[in-house]
Structure 1
Amino acid sequence: MTEFGDFISALGEFGLYQKLLVLLLSLPLLLNPFQMIGQVFMVVDVPHHCNTSWIRAIGPNLTEEEQLNLTLPRDADGEYEQCFMYSPVDWDLDSIMAYGLNATEKCSSGWVYPSAQPPSLLTEFDLVCDKKDLNDISQSVYMVGLLLGAMIFGPLSDRIGRRPIFLISLLLQGLFGVAIAFVPHFYIYMAFRCVVGASVSGILITALALGTEWVGVSYRSKAVLVTHCFVAIGQIILAGLSYGIRNWRLLEIAGSAPIFALFFYIWVLPESARWLVTKGRIEEAKKVLQKAASINKRTIPPALLEQLKPENQTQSGSILDIFRKKHLRKVTLIMSCAWFADSLVYYGLSLNVTSFGLDIYLTQLAFGVVELPARLCCVFLLQWFGRKKTQAVLLLLSGLMCLVITGIPEDQPVVTTVLAIIGKFVATASFSTSYVYTAELFPTVIRPTGVGLCSMSARVAGIVAPLIHLLSQYHRAIPMAIFGSAPVVVGLLCFLLPETRGTDLADDTGAANPQPSRTLEILSKRDTAEDGVDSEKDV
């Protein structure tokens, strides 16, 4: 029986067509870091104090220092309180200076920030004191968007196709990303960020499916990891742009508007031929296969094309199959845990960049720089050691790095940052491995649905990661202890999964174990035969 892998071999496993496709899928991922962690640079903490201009009506000639001395209490370090002020009174200035003020209250007339400070989310929406937790909450709302995107766009991609969902997600990210720069209220900002999160999730899921289904077995992991390298490059660009653009609205536009330059995708982005076959759309599949072969300067034999018949199409799958089939249920549960642990460490480190004690722009630049080799090294790790061992070991190492950080004294910011960078390196490699491994474990008919389910667990971790950071007010080591424990446990579970290195993608839900690629078997037999001929010649 002819398998779809035979058609990929005929048109070329990773020819010019696939390389151009990978490039098209990668370009939008350059902007993902702006949406994922750009807010870290929009809420930079600055000195602030209560607005006590009420005293100006009594003493218009007071200097700024005199005003603050009379109206603001001091903390244990002798600094002005940032969230409290002396309660206003109707005394005259001489009485206030003679007797002083004692009763305190929370800021009632807003806050005062450094005059030279560029507009930021913190200063524009007063994300301080009682409202300071809104920063972490808004990051969680964005993660809720990623979760909703995985729930909605994964099944939709299986139903109506990868291409339309990818294009819709691009449009949503561009429209709502730019709209965020003009919001008048922080709650509207959070709502728009939720929509952007959903669109980012749609792009990630469909890009993974398209990249995986168009590339041959030998190059599958490389194609996926190349797209991930663009995410790393985006992080480096983010560090530079955020350093140069301190106005949060301009930074948001700079990170969202370029998506509109990709409008030409409507005409050039192909649908997955493998998905078209599973849906019985044989003529469309033949056209895109022939176009791919033409661009690769290859020819698919007509006899091979004739074997694409509607009556031989794969049966449709549904989300129920994931829980009905024992092998899919096992894969889903373990990989969902792996994605959860990956996301917990990845976002736990990325969103806490301000708490490591060094300059946030340099730290973010280091995080971005370290992601590139982390994703590239996965190409070799997956090829040498296979998917299962690589996934398990990387999870264990990322957890151990976080646990080690909990024992580093607070007055050692350099050591903490170095360990965090190492942890980010391993967590990034682990996350990239999860994408490749998950795409290979699920069959074509439910691939985006399965990836979406696993992605949902990652988004749950993304939601709780900023909230876990709030526990640092009780003890600074608590967040890192939580971030480190989960991947250690899940890493051990990964040894229960099947290996997918060198196997062809499954199209239906029937196969319990990944099947070796026929292409690789043919090549192996050919090599064996050639070795035999060479041996005879030597004799």
Structure 2
Amino acid sequence: MDADEEQEEVKNDLTFDQVFKRIKNYGWYQVFILCTIQCVAFSQAANMAGGLYALGGLIPTYSCTDDNNTFVYDKKNISKHSAEACVAIRSCQNLTKENAWLSMYEEFEWMCNPPHLLSTLASVSPIVGAVGFLVSGHLSDHLGRKWPSIAGLCVSIFGGLLIAIAPNWQIYFGINIVKSLLLPTYGGASFTLCMESVGSKWRLVQSFAFQFTIANVYAGLMAYLTHNWRLHYAVVNLLALPALVMFLFIEESPRWTVQKHKYAEAAKSINKIARWNRRPNVIHTENDMKRIDLGSHAQNHHYNIFHLFSQKKLALYCLSQIATGMCMNMLTTVLLMNIQDLAGSPFLNIALMGLLRSWTPLAAIAMERYSSWFGRKPLLVGAQGVVCLCFSAIIIISVTGYWDKLHALASGLALFGYAVEIGLVWVAYKTYTVELFPTVIRTIAVNTFSLSSMLGSILAPQLIYLKTFWHPMPYAGAALISLVSIVLAVLILPETKGKPMPDSLEEVKDGRMPVPAVDGKELDQLVPTKERK
């Protein structure tokens, strides 16, 4: 077959996998996206670590040496006696405070608030965030991936700068609520944009752009160096401004523009990506974009969250994804709000939350690239099983009375379990979302599962509050939800490794898939010859 015949065959059955193969599945453009997303991740991790529900909530050790008033209140007893501690601390003349840094808890005298207030506020923010994810998913599928991402990033950076000058906890909470409502426009849209701008074989690799592996180390280091929550917020958000500029150079998702019948814009984006990837001679036209069977079976109307449950198959996928998302958020919130329950420096523990999962990208990529049988399902189920075992072991250590003796071991298990959850389970979960759900509702799916995962963030603060009555309660909740995730994944989820992403609901319903770029032999089985043009 000569070059002209090969070119004609590609054009006759053109798919985005074929397009990315021609302009390079993974080149400088995809590397630039990865670096940009990682720069954003640095600021996100630092903002999260410095918040009231993490390092910002560190409890100092208060010591009073008045002649007639001597006491010591610390993280072990102040929560149970907060009202007494408030009066005693405010009345002490010779008060000394020992803390890893100047936290919001110390500056805002949090011990003078009701004990349940912190957990209540921590549960309210995710509820608002859930509304944000619901709305942002629809906005992204109607307005595109790029500009909603940039809008959400602006909210993150400038909201963080406003937090740095918040005069009291009420203003801080108000700004945080606004951020929770608007920030989801970045999360769902940027992930979909990232995954839709790379060849299918590299989707798992590209998903690591959103990992906080190095970002958590950065967050712990910045908190240690600034020694003050206000300075921390100011510095990390000012340093995030270059990431905002970098995002302006990312192209709109060509999959989205074709699905919206903006063929000229899609061709322009593809050709720019080709030049980024040192393939300037590979040029695609508006007519090429029309040939891509993207959404050709889809009805021309707006889609919403109800389409995620419009088919039994999709509804079951949703059930499994919801459980896994809840698990990830619950573990993250439990670890951050419970950071003082772990042995060692809280700054080091934040850094370890990133360092301990530094091996996970290499392991996942090795299994993805060099193993024909190890796909998404073994990755999700196997990693989630390790997480369940880690937190079950922590429960045993606590209930058997060995917590003080094995405190370091329990802390290590918690950090390692978190690393596996966010390092491996997260990647399988996110990759499943973009590979199971078609283009027409993909961002709605990403944002809906981010929304439902907030249930884990809502429940976790209440588990933290209940540890006052039973210490291992947060770890028990994490172990239970991880077990539920395992069972549902085993029973429901299919293997999607190496399979092209569906573009329409009709393809999912009928079992039709676009032809992979690497092989066109299945075309006659999928589409009868008389229907091919």
Alignment of 1:369-518 (within 5 A): 369-383=355-369, 384=371, 385-408=374-397, 409-411=402-404, 412-428=406-422, 429-495=424-490, 496-512=492-508, 513=511, 515=513, 518=516
Check whether the contact 2:60–2:98 (CA below 8 A) recurs between aligned residues: no
Structure 1 residue 43 and structure 2 residue 57: aligned?
Answer: yes
Question: Aligned letter for 1:431?
Answer: W
Question: Aligned letter for 1:249?
Answer: R
| Alignment CA distance shift 1:131-1:121 (3 Å) | farther
| Alignment CA distance shift 1:518-1:333 (3 Å) | same
Secondary structure, counterpart of 2:505 in structure 1: coil
* Offset of residue 18 of structure 1: 2.0
2:528 corresponding residue in structure 1? none
| Alignment CA distance shift 1:464-1:286 (3 Å) | same
2:179 corresponding residue in structure 1? 196
Of residues 236-245 and 367-376 in structure 1, the stretch that sits farther from structure 2 once superposed is 367-376
Structure 1 residue 318 and structure 2 residue 313: aligned?
Answer: no
* Structure 2 length-normalised TM: 0.83
2:14 corresponding residue in structure 1? 2
Runs of 4+ with deviation above 4 angstroms: 72-75, 81-85, 115-118, 308-314, 522-525
The structure with the largest alpha-carbon Rg is 1
1:352 to 338, 345, 348: 338
Q: Distance in 1 between matches of 2:77 and 2:457?
A: 38
Structure 1 residue 167 and structure 2 residue 150: aligned?
Answer: yes
2:519 corresponding residue in structure 1? 521
| Alignment CA distance shift 1:84-1:471 (3 Å) | closer
Q: Which runs of 5+ in 1 are unaligned?
A: 51-63, 86-104, 526-539
| Alignment CA distance shift 1:305-1:157 (3 Å) | closer
Q: Which runs of 5+ in 2 are unaligned?
A: 1-12, 524-533
Q: Distance in 2 between matches of 1:309 and 1:78?
A: 64
Q: Deviations over 1:134-189 (max 9, x none)?
A: 33344334433432331121111001010110010011111211101111221221
CA RMSD of aligned residues (A): 3.1
Check whether the contact 1:144–1:194 (CA below 8 A) recurs between aligned residues: no
Check whether the contact 1:279–1:314 (CA below 8 A) recurs between aligned residues: no
Check whether the contact 1:502–1:517 (CA below 8 A) recurs between aligned residues: no
Structure 1 residue 228 and structure 2 residue 210: aligned?
Answer: yes
2:261 to 280, 302, 305: 280
| Alignment CA distance shift 1:132-1:5 (3 Å) | same
Question: Aligned letter for 2:155?
Answer: L
| Alignment CA distance shift 1:306-1:199 (3 Å) | closer
Q: Distance in 2 between matches of 1:279 and 1:137?
A: 42
* Offset of residue 308 of structure 1: 5.4
Check whether the contact 2:343–2:407 (CA below 8 A) recurs between aligned residues: yes
1:367 corresponding residue in structure 2? 353
2:283 corresponding residue in structure 1? 300
| Alignment CA distance shift 1:178-1:10 (3 Å) | same
Question: Aligned letter for 2:60?
Answer: V
Check whether the contact 2:15–2:292 (CA below 8 A) recurs between aligned residues: no
| Alignment CA distance shift 1:116-1:358 (3 Å) | closer
Structure 1 residue 125 and structure 2 residue 108: aligned?
Answer: yes
Q: Distance in 2 between matches of 1:173 and 1:48?
A: 34
* Structure 1 length-normalised TM: 0.82
